[in-house]
Copies of this chain bind each other. A is one copy, B any other.
């Protein structure tokens, strides 16, 4: 079994706790919720992503005979426990915000309702899956807002944190509104549109740039984009103009040029002039090289004639905020609501739902957080996704998720669409949830008093 599919992609303490739960017959129904505790600086909303991979994981979860043998050799686990682990499958329910949904702090994005050992075991990998894709989708959304209408392409596999991060960053950015990716495997696995040009090394192995451009054009004539910054960008743009008629004679059209270094605003203007004066008005300019949403905004505001952008490290690592303060916490066990009260990490107890309201202009106006059995005005965001360990519906097409995200971004209050928003989206705690919290605290205090 490949590491990414292994049930051992979890923390030791989960197995320690499972042995205690199973040994004491603590297999009652537990409810855990995944949520983000607080939004970091420069994130005024988040986009939910990763649900499909989370459901894949839950459907496939099982320990192989080899896993069990290995655990036996490790020691510390009883034979009875290992027998039960070998038989363990995920048989619970999942309710979740559909991928592409805008969400805010303290709102449950996903809820697991399952026998306690199952719900506990899956914590580590569920968080690992949901956190990363939501992180990247949220970062990508900022770039989409910063450069409306521009063609944004994920170029960041090489500096993503490993294989899965690279692959999933392509998916998460595409659903947030990117046009596509350079990652071949994301094309194969998810059908995401693929983009590619050429590298500096290609230019360097040829005697000169003109030879390199000609060789590349004949080898890959479709959607031909030439990289023009290896030596001198403006000189290279003039070479493209000189070459164009020769290529045209061979039936090859130069689709675009790519800039990857220097002052992109200034170079895009001078390159545009060179191309236009050379009769290449329809040749597009594509830019890359250390871009993030602030650079995009600056380029767009500066009126640079750039048609598309390749975005690397800042996207696939979510460079300014590479992690969210998120958690997967027990909210109910055996029918009784629970909460954690640790300093700075207290949680709202019980099974919860989020209702979202919209104003007369269609824009989001506020969310209400309450217990699941409450009724609040607005649209409930968590929907049934899995029952008894099986998906309720086949995975939606990425296009559908992408539309939901686009709609969400369009309906955000204008004040939250800015890169440096100061407004905070109103999330109200309903009275019913406040009352439940007080009840949970009172019950806990009573239990503690009863102690010998």
A residues at B contact (CB < 8 Å):
2-6, 8-17, 19-21, 23-24, 26, 30, 32, 70, 74, 76, 116, 120, 123-125, 127-129, 131-132, 135, 155, 157-168, 182-185, 187-189, 194-202, 204-205, 207-210, 215-216, 218-220, 222, 229-231, 235, 260-262, 313, 317-319, 322-324, 326, 329-330, 333-334, 338-345, 444, 447-448, 450-451
Q: How far is the CA of A62 from the CA of B436 in the complex (A)?
A: 58
Q: How far is the CA of A300 from the CA of B286 in the complex (A)?
A: 50
List 18 additional A-B contacts (Cβ < 8 Å) besides A26-B205, A205-B330.
Answer: A6-B188, A8-B184, A9-B166, A11-B182, A12-B187, A15-B184, A16-B219, A20-B216, A23-B219, A123-B199, A132-B162, A161-B162, A161-B317, A200-B340, A204-B338, A210-B451, A231-B341, A322-B322
* Residue pair B70, A194 in contact (C-beta under 8 Å): no
* Residue pair B220, A16 in contact (C-beta under 8 Å): yes
Closest to A452 in B: B210
* Residue pair B198, A13 in contact (C-beta under 8 Å): yes
Q: How far is the CA of A160 from the CA of B338 in the complex (A)?
A: 28
* Complex contacts, A198 vs chain B, CB 8 Å: 13, 16-17
A41 CB to nearest chain B CB (Å): 13
A and B contact pairs by CB, cutoff 8 A, 25 listed: A2-B2, A8-B184, A8-B185, A9-B185, A11-B155, A12-B196, A16-B198, A17-B199, A17-B216, A19-B220, A20-B216, A120-B201, A123-B158, A123-B199, A127-B159, A131-B158, A131-B159, A161-B165, A165-B165, A200-B329, A200-B330, A207-B447, A229-B342, A261-B342, A318-B322
* Residue pair B208, A448 in contact (C-beta under 8 Å): yes
* Complex contacts, A132 vs chain B, CB 8 Å: 160-162
Q: How far is the CA of A204 from the CA of B32 in the complex (A)?
A: 12
Q: Given A185-B3, A185-B8, A216-B17: A261 and B343 within 8 A (CB)?
A: yes
Of B164, B196, B329, which is within 8 A of A164 by CB?
A: B164
Q: How far is the CA of A218 from the CA of B124 in the complex (A)?
A: 24
* Complex contacts, A342 vs chain B, CB 8 Å: 200, 229-231, 260-262
* Complex contacts, A313 vs chain B, CB 8 Å: 323
* Complex contacts, A2 vs chain B, CB 8 Å: 2, 4-5
* Complex contacts, A345 vs chain B, CB 8 Å: 261
* Complex contacts, A166 vs chain B, CB 8 Å: 9, 128
Which 3 A/B pairs are nearest by Cβ-Cβ distance?
Answer: A12-B196, A162-B164, A20-B219
* Residue pair B163, A196 in contact (C-beta under 8 Å): no
Closest to A11 in B: B182
Closest to A76 in B: B222
A188 CB to nearest chain B CB (Å): 6
A439 CB to nearest chain B CB (Å): 15
* Residue pair A13, B163 in contact (C-beta under 8 Å): no
A198 CB to nearest chain B CB (Å): 6
A88 CB to nearest chain B CB (Å): 15
Q: How far is the CA of A260 from the CA of B125 in the complex (A)?
A: 21
* Residue pair B188, A70 in contact (C-beta under 8 Å): yes
A151 CB to nearest chain B CB (Å): 15
* Residue pair B162, A165 in contact (C-beta under 8 Å): yes
Of B14, B135, B167, B216, which is within 8 A of A16 by CB?
A: B216
Q: How far is the CA of A397 from the CA of B11 in the complex (A)?
A: 24
* Complex contacts, A128 vs chain B, CB 8 Å: 157-160, 162-163, 166
* Complex contacts, A182 vs chain B, CB 8 Å: 11-13
Q: How far is the CA of A159 from the CA of B132 in the complex (A)?
A: 7
Q: How far is the CA of A333 from the CA of B204 in the complex (A)?
A: 8
Q: How far is the CA of A7 from the CA of B321 in the complex (A)?
A: 30
Q: How far is the CA of A159 from the CA of B155 in the complex (A)?
A: 22
* Residue pair B219, A19 in contact (C-beta under 8 Å): yes
* Complex contacts, A215 vs chain B, CB 8 Å: 20, 24
* Complex contacts, A338 vs chain B, CB 8 Å: 201, 204-205
* Complex contacts, A14 vs chain B, CB 8 Å: 199
Closest to A200 in B: B340
* Residue pair A116, B205 in contact (C-beta under 8 Å): yes
A290 CB to nearest chain B CB (Å): 8
Of B30, B197, B210, which is within 8 A of A13 by CB?
A: B197
